[in-house]
Chain A
């Protein structure tokens, strides 16, 4: 791995501000797509209206996968190039991904209780999703406890890249093992009555996720720039 560029120019400058209107728009679009889906989707044959939980559970799971894919790409990029910015993007995506991963688990439990009669079963899909969550909770704990910037970035890039390998295992778990969880939901496997609702809710949550990652990255760069300035001041730099 090349040595990280520690010259003054390589220090993170103030990033372009993410417009708060992007956040407002993302939240409003999500509220609108949920309202549309809840009000227009018919009761499903077996589950009745319980099916409506799909519009939040499935997009949350997809966005978890996508966020951890971003972690994988930028972690590998950091290990290759040693650029601080890549570490910050990976960390931002990991925090958002872990949040969505936790949400996916909780929504799954809320859906599982009335549909299966239990809040939790140790089947392959649920267990692998929990393992994914624990890996990225560990990633965030690692970042909180390691003080040395380069060591923190290197170790978290390694954990992020290895942790993201669990994503295809989570996805394929319902095909590889016999599970209580149903096979993956996608527009191709759904009744057409539910396809539009799933699609628009997935895009709306994608919009929210992009805003969250951008905003978190912007904050991380500001924090890093302030840390560099504090270090420079402590060392008596002009």
Chain B
């Protein structure tokens, strides 16, 4: 039993790195998606909505 535990303890850091790596890829990936969607939505809003300062304001 001790041997199994030792094996797990010895080899588990790659799984820990993978878990934290995946977490940050997902969080930062979603953040980038929001930033890009926000920039697109702001541009459309300014272009189409009267009074928002874009084409629609004319």
Residue numbers of A with Cβ under 8 A of B are 14, 23, 27, 30, 34, 38, 43, 46-50, 52-53, 56-57, 60, 96, 99, 102-103, 106-107, 110-111, 113-115, 208, 212, 215-216, 218-219, 222-223, 225-226, 229-230, 233
Contact = CB atoms under 8 A, between A and B. Distances in A.
Contact of A49 (B12, B27, B30, B42): B12
A70 B21 CA distance: 28
Nearest to B18: A110
B12 to A, nearest CB: 4
A225 B9 CA distance: 55
Given A226-B45, A233-B48, A46 B5 contact: yes
Contacts, number: 95
Interface of B: 5, 8-9, 11-13, 15-16, 18-20, 22-23, 26-28, 30-31, 34, 37-38, 41-42, 44-45, 47-50, 52, 56
Contact of A219 (B23, B27, B34): B34
B19 A111 contact: yes
Contacts of A53: 15-16, 19
Contacts of B45: 14, 222, 225-226, 229
20 contacts: A38-B20, A47-B12, A48-B5, A49-B9, A49-B13, A50-B12, A50-B15, A53-B15, A53-B16, A60-B23, A99-B26, A103-B26, A110-B15, A114-B8, A114-B15, A212-B30, A215-B38, A219-B38, A225-B45, A233-B56
